[in-house]
Structure 1
């Protein structure tokens, strides 16, 4: 029985760090904005921005961590750019 070969994870630490820090942060801010917009109807208006603010580290830390497990640095940049664009589109659609 042969073992499966998984793609080698390259040490593109500079591009992966860039994607995790900047694009991951932009993505987490977008998700926090979505959480804030969805929270306004369900909780007090004073607490909704706090809910969104405290959502950022819960999204950003795992996204930053996962950037190093994607095989190539340019793939991380493309994936995180597309995810951030989709999240911004979601914010624009929710805001109206």
Structure 2
């Protein structure tokens, strides 16, 4: 039986770190804003920003961790950039 070959994970840590830290943070802040916008109708107005604020590290830390498992650094930057753009478009649509 042959073992399946997986793509090699390259050690271009600088671009992966950039993607995880900056683009992952931008994405997680946007998700926190989406959670805040959606929480205003379901909970008190005082608690909704806290809910959005505390979702940021729960999104950002796994994104920073997962950036190093993407095979190439430029792929991590493209994936995180597209995800961030889609999240901000969704936020703009929700805010009206």
TM class, shorter-chain normalised?
A: over 0.9
Q: What CA distance in whole angstroms lies between the structure 2 residues aligned with 1:45 and 1:12?
A: 44
Task: Give deviations 1:20-60, integer Å, cap 9, x for gaps.
Answer: 00000000000000000000000000000000000000000
| SS of equivalent residue, structure 1 residue 10 | coil
Query: Number of residues paired by the alignment?
Result: 96
Cα RMSD for the two superposed structures? 0.3
Question: Once the 2 structures are TM-superposed, how far is the Cα of residue 5 of structure 1 from its aligned partner?
Answer: 0.1
Q: What CA distance in whole angstroms lies between the structure 2 residues aligned with 1:94 and 1:76?
A: 27
Structure 2: stretches of 5+ with no match in the other structure: none
What are the equivalent positions in structure 2 for 1:48-63 lying under 5 Å apart?
A: 48-63=48-63
Runs of 4+ that moved beyond 3 A: none
**Is 1:23 matched with 2:23?**
yes
**Is 1:85 matched with 2:85?**
yes
Q: What CA distance in whole angstroms lies between the structure 1 residues aligned with 2:53 and 2:26?
A: 13
Q: What CA distance in whole angstroms lies between the structure 1 residues aligned with 2:65 and 2:22?
A: 13
